[in-house]
Structure formats: structure tokens, C-alpha cells
Structure 1
């Protein structure tokens, strides 16, 4: 059934799913205490959580209630979703044969330190783009550093996906940042309950002076820099210095200047002369208007004080964190590459975006089909759709070795991402797929801030692919339908440095060593619940059927 050119599901199955989800929510409330919570080792600053978005849904989930409610949001939002055909694009791929300097950032603490170093070195401009920006310890420190540079005359711009960030860095926070000269924009402020609200900006980058850039999978939050007490992300980024950075900058500018981005609403301290209160005075009386005004003033002042206290916060731990990060960076190998490619999707919404602007996935698919010997995929999610199913099957049937490292149930944030994985992967195990499920442990080679973070639950968030042990890809692309069709993504490829590919592979292997290796269905049945809590198992079974019904939209 169509209403106003939108597609609605007029089917009893839809209402069954709604009812089922409600039942699941009640069950999960019972077991909520058994699921791990995400608490920072730095309790000085209270986090302000936004309601999680459906994109990379998995990056922002805080507890079982939110997980179930988020699936309910997916059900509702997909009422208006219609799948459209795609055609392979042929532009928006930038290549360079000049030498580029590269540093692989496997460790979160080192990645945090490198960001600070880059910000401190900036002379002209800093452009930061992210999907999540928590106002926690690492987020606050980065904002403090950005404020310092802005006050020195460096142009600072923040490009933020609206749904995941509009509460953590809300309009009042961003209004406060404008006082220091920092400008911000939100991407796609449409409600995620609508079809067009499903199109998110999932890209992550920081660009300094149009000369150096970090791209990869990390957002801005303690867990992405391995500084959280309960859960940390095993992620990966690459620092690039060379002419292709100008193309990364150009891509940032395309998004910044897009009609889909908008400035935050400026939230200034209320004045009784504001038209809102004058209208209340006319409609009601002076006393009522004054009451509304005093209430709004108290809310604004409370939030202003919270923002000020956080931005003024001192962190004695920072010296130790930076020292650890600096030592890791000093020991990190440096690489060069003469065959570089950067690719990004274009900003866009709706049918035309699905059809014309999907650049990253087609480049990845092309390279996968060209592989002759082996493809290694490191992704937090491995969910196949009608395009990727034959892609993986044909590789395996043609004798190409395929290794997948992804999260098992214990390491997976959203329980509904594991249901499709376990259901789909059985057939491909028969074809010879090698599956590695992250078990939640920290690799032996990984350097941690302290024993508390080292003993936390570790999950993979890396987005990397190695082709034939010689070409490497790193970016923001997850191996799932959402990155294929709804998220804007970016990726960098190096095609002429085997040493870099080996370094990629060594780090992946270190993570595989603490993962469960699955070679057949029997092992999958035995190990799929490795280290999982009782609550996680309940969540898995409760969400398995709905997630399979909506597999093309996860």
C-alpha cells in the first residue's frame, strides 16, 4: 500500500513483529542486570547518551533495553523503506602514484595520542568528521585541544551525524563552542522514523592543514581509544601524508557544503523580552509568562554549568595516557605507498542516492572479485545481502581462500546482528569459509592503560580488508547491508606495499589468536555462545526471528 509515495506494510506479519518485540522487551528487562554495562574508568564526567541510531547500530548500544527498543525503531522506520536497484558508479575514485607516508594505528591509546599531536601541530585548519562524539573524557580533551587551536586562529570545523550526536554534543554545547570560533554542522537531521532518516553519514576522519589525515573506524569516545572500564573496541586507522589528502579534504568539503548538512540551532540564554514570553503574557498573564521564563532560565543555566564544568575539567591521567601512546607510536613502523586510492560515497538520500552515489562498495566488490588467492575481511558485522551472497560464494567455489574475523555473541553489541551471522554462515562454512569469532579477550600484543581496561570486554570495530596478501583497505565500511546501501562511507587502498599488508595481517592474526576459529557447522554449534552471558543468550533467541525478517536492513 502506498501513501504519499511511501511504502507501508499492510500485512499481519508486521503487527506480529511489533507484538513480538514488545514481548522481547519485557523478557530482556528481567535479564538486563546480567548484560554488561559501559562505564568509563573516568567517573568524573557524566556521559549524556543519545538514543542510538540504526546505522552501525552496534557502535552506540548501552544496554539490553536500548537494544530491544532500537530494533523496534528499525521496524517502524522500515515501514517507509523500499529497496531500489543500483548501478555501478564509475567516478569519485581518486588515485595517486606519488609516494605517501603512512602509519598504521592499531592501538587505541596510540590513536588518541596521534590525534592530540596532529591537533597541536595544526597551523591553518582542522576538519573533524565523525559518527559518534561522546562528551566523555577523551571527547572533552579533544574539544579542549580544538578550542586552544581555534583561539590561536586555526579554523576548526566539526561535521557530525545528527542522530548519534545531537544529544551528546547538543545544540547548546555547539553554541558554546561557537564562542571559541569552532563551527559545526549536522548531517541529515531528518527523523530516523522516516525513510530518508535512515541515510546516515558513517564516515570518520580528521584532516590537518590539508596535508595529513587519519581515516578508519574510530569514533570519539573512551571505548574507541581503549580507555573504558567494561568494554573497548579493537579498531584500526591509518595516518596518511601525501597529495591524496587534498582529495580527502575535497570530500569533506563536499559534505560540509551539501544541502543535507545544517548548522545547529543556536541556544542562547533566554530573555524575558523574547517573543515566546511576550506571547504567553498576552495569552495568559504576566505571572504565567514569568514562570515559564524562570523555568527555561533554570534549564539553560543548569546545562550551561554542566558544559562549562566539563570543558574546564583537568585530567591528571592525561600525562600517563599520552606517555603510553607516545611510546607505542615510537615503536610503530612507518610505511610508504606509491599506489594510493581514496574513495568516498557522495552525500545523498533516497532512490537516486541508492542508484548513483554508492562508490565505496563497488570498489570493494570489484577488488574482491579480482582476488586470486586469499581475501581477509575484518569487520564488526558480517551480514550478507543479495549482492554479497554470490560474491562470497563465487570466491569460495573458485578456490579463493576467505577468512572472516567478526564479533561472536559475547563480543557483539546488538544481539540481532549475530542471528543473521550464525544463520547465514553455515552454508559458507560448507564451501570452505574460515570464520574467526572475537571472544571478548584482549590480544596479548595489545598495550592497555591499566589492568582494569585490559580485563574489559574487547570487541572488534575494525573495517579492513587484505587482498592476496599484498593490497590493503582501511576505512569506515562494514560488511553489511547498511554500509552497502544506506550509510555514506570512505576507504583508502594501498596496492604496492607488501610490508604494510603483512603488518595489517600480523595485527589481525594477533586478534585471531584470542578468537574462536570456526571451520564447520559442528564447531559453530559448539562455540557460538563462547563466553556469552545468560542474558545475552536470551536476547539472541528473542531477536533471532525479527532480525532474520529484516536481514536486508541491518
Structure 2
């Protein structure tokens, strides 16, 4: 039988267009670069940041390991200000590695500041995961057109870059490769100071979003841990799965046109300065710009180590090993973290927006509880998570965790609005948890990009920092109100049953027998979709 297509048929036009897209989606990546590797510019006391951080790099006279300098950045306005101040004061190099850079006020402001630093002679290396770069190519090409700047993409889309629709077609055609993403968040200035944690570079991570904003956490660091973080950055930058933007998104304009377009896209009218930061943060410390201007950095001295997954994690069998560091020897960052949990003597606190322990995690919890280790978990409620399917899979383990005596708390915008301490912060926006934090025995702190779910464990690359510090741990206990829960529901089992109940922490004494603030339609819809999405992809 012969099929005849009529050119005037809308069906034919759509079929033809879909076929072209599918063929384009199968287009391969260019061959890996043969250029020699590029490495971080070593920290030097010839720069302001290098001089101010020298005391945190000095070897102790007794030959012991030097203690790094650490400052917690739980407040979004101080976290954004710290990045801007370090960009503006950098004199030799800026290395940024992020999962997401927003096409918004914050993303554009950061790009403009990086351009300004490059014009001062600072070498800028920007490494982005390519999943959320849809629509960013014009700005990124504009930035890359300036001297001293290079932009690279992790595991990029070979075609269909123009829109999310065409990207999804590419994603489907190369699912195994493109499902592997770089979730790391790292910022290094002059090889002297670094920021790592949970925040991406977008409005909602710095309390600048109109609708949703995240509760998050970064650490600002100086000392030997920054050298480790710079080495981690280099391993990714020179990886075979990282490509120069110029090889993936070919510019179709002159350098002058690219720069003129960049100026328009990142103009102050669309990328305004944030509001001035307060005189002191919640711990009484001045903004980093003030501290730098005064020539003093009052950082917590502590032993700190960094580690990250291999850039090739999940792409090739046996390639998932971690690529540094000094925190024990298991392969992936998730495995390292679980090994540290086994060392707990008294208690573990885990804060993660997405929490799916899996059977192995549940077994570890049981062993820890049998040893008398108390466990507390804080995550998002169903009504306030931005990944509802993850919440559905977390629900599969909720009763079992409560039966083990694990204390469970779920962040709720409704509860936040009733908290005197939190409602001023979030105003009319929705507050959601995004911080990734673990405390072991209230003296060992783990902060980074890793969620406690299968995607972080198996598919995404992650970066983390371990700090051994009683002082830092107790600052974070205060910041996240771990001992005096606010803005959350406390979960418990109804006596004698497997029914979960939610207890408000706003002083009203309210008790709920169903997911608070989540409609029945939402719950049924998510339950339906959960049947088709394997938990190891979440």
C-alpha cells in the first residue's frame, strides 16, 4: 500500500516538522576537545582577598593541619551580597559552577558583574549545567565575547536548544545521557575565598522572587578547603563531558553585536541592584563587604574538607567515584555521607527539600536507632514542595520512619505565615525549603548540593563540604530553629494506628489527619502519576 501525503495537509506539516526535530535531536555532540587542560590560578598575597585570607592558610607551628575559615550564610540577602562583593573585589580569577542561572534579575546581575570583572582583567570561567539554559544562549554568547571570559556547558544538548519544547524532544531521544546532570553549586574568587551550598543563581534563592522563595544555606570559606574546591572545579572544567559554549551554540552575530545585545539584556532596568543589606546578620556579623573594607575576616576556624562526585557519574559503569578529598573513601558523595552517619554517637539531623531514604536508607536508620542514635528529618510538605512526585515517594517511607522513632517535620507556607519570626521575611511569597544540611552529633556539619534522594545518589553529580565545628553546628541549629520548630508541621502516628497526623507549631494546637493545605484532587493526581515514574528517577 502506498501512502500519499498532500503538502497542503496540516497533518503533513506537523509530521514533517516533528520528523525534522527528531532527526535534529539525534545529532551528535562534537568530538571532545583536544586543547590542553586549564587550571585554577593559584591564590596569591598580591591580591586583596589573598592577603586577607593568608592567616587561614598558614601552617600551625606544631605541624598539625591548618584550620580553614568558615562563615554560614543562611540569610539570602547576605548570601547574594557576598557573591557580588567577591566578584567586585576579585583581581585574578573567578570560577563559577552552577546547576541553574536564572533568566531574571539575579542571573542577569551576576552576568553583568562577571563582564565588568573581566574588563578589569580578571579571568572568568563560568561552568553551567545545560538543562536550564533554554533562552540564555544570547546572554551567554555575549558574555563569552569579552576578553578573559570562557563559558562552558556540562553534558549539553547537541540540538533543539531554541526552546523547552525542542529540548524535551532532544531529552527523550538521548534520555540516558541527558538525564545525567551537574547539580553542583560552587563559587571561587582569586583562589582565596569560596561559596558552596544549596543556592543556584536565580531570584527565588535570594528572596527576590515574586511568588516562591527558598529557605537555603551556603558556606563562605577561606583556607585549605578552598584549594580543594578549586581542584574540584578544574576536574569538571577539563572533563570530557564539558564543552565550550562556542562549540555548542554557534554565534550568528558579530562580536560587537553580541556585546551590544548583552548590554541591553543585562541593563540595570532588567537587572537592578538588590536592596542594601542590614548592618549585621543574625549572628551579629557585618556584611562581607564591610569586613573586607575594614581588613578583617572574623571566620570560624575549623577543620573542613570538600568532595564531589566524578563528572562521569552515571554515564559509564564504574565511573561514579568521588574525585577528591579528604573525607573517607567510599565512592559517591552519597556513599560518603552515609558512611559518616554510621559514625554518629548521639544524634543526626537531616534537612533536605527532597527526602526519599529508600530501603537501604531505612535499614541504616533502623541500625542507628537500635544503637540509640536519635534522628530528626526536615523536608517540604506536599502543599509546598516544588517536586510533588518526590513527596509522594517520600510518603511511602513516612510511617516506617515514625515507627522507628524518627522525628519528622514538614515545612509549610501556612505555618510560616503564622510565625512571628518568619512571616516578615517571606511577606506574601510562598516559602519553600531548599537547604541541604546534615548535623552529626551537633559538631560535624555537612553542607552542599546533595539532596537525600535517588537522583542525587545515582544520577546527578553533587558537591559537599564537611566541617568539624561545634560553633558552626550550633549557629545552624539556631538559624534553622531545630530545637524550637517554627514554620513547620510536626508529624506523629495516631496512637495505635498507622495513620499520620500533622501537628501545627504556630501555637494554635491544630491537628490534621490529611496532608494540610493539599487538596484531594492534587493528592489523587500525584498518586496516579507516581505509578508511572520510577522512584530511582526522582
Deviation at 1:477, TM superposition (A): 0.8
Which whole-Å CA distance do the structure 1 matches of 2:420 and 2:524 have between them? 31
Alignment partner, residue 252 of structure 1: 233
Alpha-carbon distance in structure 1 between the residues aligned to 2:70 and 2:420: 24
1:350 aligns with 2:324: no
Q: Structure 2, unaligned stretches of length 5 or more? A: 1-58, 158-169, 287-297, 324-330, 503-511
How far is 1:355 from its partner?
6.5
Whole-angstrom CA distance in 1 between matches of 2:485 and 2:513 = 14
Q: 1:485 aligns with which of 435, 458, 462?
A: 458
Correspondence for 1:469 among 419, 442, 458: 442
Q: Would the alpha carbon gap of residues 97 and 257 (structure 1) be closer, same or farther in structure 2, given more than 3 Å must change?
A: same
2:146 paired with 1:169: no
- Cα distance change, pair 429–173 in 1 and its aligned pair in 2 (3 A): same
Q: Which residue of 2 aligns with 1:224?
A: 205
Q: Any idea what SS the aligned residue of 2:461 has?
A: coil
Secondary structure at the aligned position of 2:355 is classed as coil
Gaps of at least 5 residues in structure 1 are 1-94, 272-300
- Provide the residue aligned with 1:522 in structure 2: 499
Q: Among residues 273, 276, 290, which one is paired with 1:323 in the alignment? A: 276
TM-score (norm 1): 0.71
**CA shift in 2, pair 1:448/1:315, >3 Å:** farther
TM-score by length of 2: 0.73
Match of 1:285? none
Partner SS, residue 499 of structure 2: helix
Q: What is the CA distance between 1:325 and its match in structure 2?
A: 5.3
Q: 1:149 aligns with which of 109, 117, 127?
A: 117
1:401 CA displacement:
0.7
The DSSP-based 3-state class of the residue aligned with 2:356 is coil
**CA shift for structure 1 position 485:** 0.9
Q: Distance in 2 between matches of 1:233 and 1:111?
A: 13
Find the aligned partners of 1:355 and 1:155 in 2 and give their Cα distance.
30
Give the corresponding residue for 1:47.
Answer: none
1:336 and 2:300 matched: yes
Q: Which has the higher helix share?
A: 1
Q: Quote the offset at 1:534 in angstroms.
A: 5.8
Specify which of 215, 226, 229 is matched with residue 196 of structure 2.
215
Tell me if structure 2 keeps the 8 A contact 1:113–1:325: no
In the alignment, the residues of structure 2 paired with residue 253 and residue 325 of structure 1 have an alpha-carbon distance, to the nearest angstrom, of 35
Q: Which moved more, 1:186-195 or 1:132-141?
A: 186-195
Asked if the contact 1:226–1:448 (Cα under 8 Å) also holds between the matched residues in 2, the reply is no
- Give the one of 133, 136, 161 matched to 2:101: 133
**Do the aligned partners of 1:409 and 1:536 also contact (CA within 8 Å) in 2?**
no
CA deviation vs aligned residue, 1:169-195 (integer Å, no higher than 9, x gap): 22x322211222321000012554321
Partner of 1:75: none
* Cα distance between partner residues in 2 of 1:105 and 1:447: 19
> How many pairs align?
421
Deviation at residue 386 of structure 1 after TM alignment: 4.0
**d(CA) in 1 for partners of 2:277 and 2:520?**
36
State the 1:528 CA deviation.
5.1
Please tell me whether the aligned partners of residues 99 and 336 of structure 1 are also in contact (alpha carbons under 8 angstroms). Answer: no
For each residue in 1:220-256, what CA deviation from the matched residue of structure 2 results, as whole angstroms up to 9, or x when unmatched?
A: 1100101112110100000001122011001101100
Q: What is the root-mean-square deviation in Å for CA atoms of aligned residues?
A: 2.7
2:251 aligned to 244, 248, 268, which one? 268
Measured in 1, the distance between the counterparts of 2:369 and 2:514 equals 22
1:313 maps to 268
Out of 458, 480, 485, the position equivalent to 1:512 is 485
Determine the C-alpha separation between the residues in 2 that align with 1:116 and 1:457: 25
Deviation at 1:136, TM superposition (A): 0.3
- Structure 1 counterpart of 2:328: none
In the TM superposition, residue 338 of structure 1 has moved relative to its aligned partner by 3.2
Return the alpha-carbon distance in structure 1 between the equivalents of residues 240 and 343 of structure 2.
37
- Which has the bigger relative contact order, CA under 8 A and spacing at least 6? 1
C-alpha separation in 2, matches of 1:245 and 1:527: 48
Kept after mapping to 1: 8 A contact 2:228/2:306: yes
CA distance in 1, matches of 2:337, 2:381: 24
* 8 Å CA contact retained: 2:129, 2:183: yes
Task: Please say if 1:551 is aligned against 2:535.
Answer: yes
